[in-house]
Structure 1
């Protein structure tokens, strides 16, 4: 296998690089091609025929990647449509809580969503985010404060924002 890899890597790399849009896709194509060759080492022809066999494998791997992307895009579109249809319409115009939430940095939105939409506790949020429970609680506190500031509410008004995050009627 090592001899096959050394002899044919440059050709397979060029083949992959010419047919993919990113270095990551190129690397995936190369690795899947040589993984298939390793698994089917008994089927790999000798000499220069091995290069042609590898091209055939790479071609099929690339086709599988493209089909997978196409299915993923189709699924994403269907989910987007379903979610848009399922999102409750706000009576009386724009939703100030949703707008303020959408304007927050990604980091704040994620911690708030984990707390209010997924009903996770501080330690659970910490595990999801890969930090300590204390760090998660601090992040949540700061995100709540930034949301309240964006809404222009303080003290008791924060419950208004928190109910809006949970999707409750305000």
Structure 2
């Protein structure tokens, strides 16, 4: 029996039971699906560690339990961070909203490739070396792409500013 055959047999035999286990312990169908998929992904990755026979079910229960625990810790972490953010925002002085529609328009007008490297650099705060790993190119190519994308964004912002000025003068 191949690893695939063994995994399929385990999946077919125990999917309904793991589904029920996860359903009883989660509050949404999305969370249930996450638990099930993560449990069986672990089983596939560690198929040599999955015991034979009925012991496989107990092993899967253990994996599902740990997946649920990780899911719960993530929820707690997000709740704590959200509360901290709410407290920080409440403590800060009111901020006047800034109209950034011109930036959004300029950014959206760029090619997808430019938007991706700019987003990785600005939003994710990645260096050129890390951007290279994400997009699958050399560090030199990533630096070049980023520099060119910044130039194109600058040009697009200047065009947006010119259009705004022209519209205000008209």
TM surpasses 0.5: yes
Q: Choose from 54, 74, 93 the match for 1:48.
A: 54
Structure 1 residues 100-119: aligned runs within 5 Å: 116-117=99-100
Residues 17-45 of structure 1: per-residue CA shift (max 9 Å, x gap): 11111100000000000011111111000
Residue of structure 1 equivalent to 2:103: 120
Q: What is the rounded CA distance, in whole Å, between the counterparts of 2:71 and 2:11 in structure 1?
A: 22
1:36 has 2:42 as partner = yes
Residue of structure 1 equivalent to 2:84: 78
Structure 1 residues 70 and 121: CA distance shift in structure 2, 3 A: closer
| Offset of residue 119 of structure 1 | 6.0
Runs of 5+ unmatched residues, structure 1: 90-97, 99-112, 129-155, 157-170
Aligned length: 106
Residue of structure 2 equivalent to 1:17: 23
Normalized per residue, which structure has more helix? 2
- What SS does structure 1 have at the residue aligned with 2:9? helix
Runs of 5+ unmatched residues, structure 2: 1-6, 113-167
Runs of 4+ in 1 over 2 A off after TM superposition: 125-128
CA-based RMSD: 2.5
Tell me the TM-score normalised to structure 2 length.
Answer: 0.56
- What SS does structure 2 have at the residue aligned with 1:116? coil
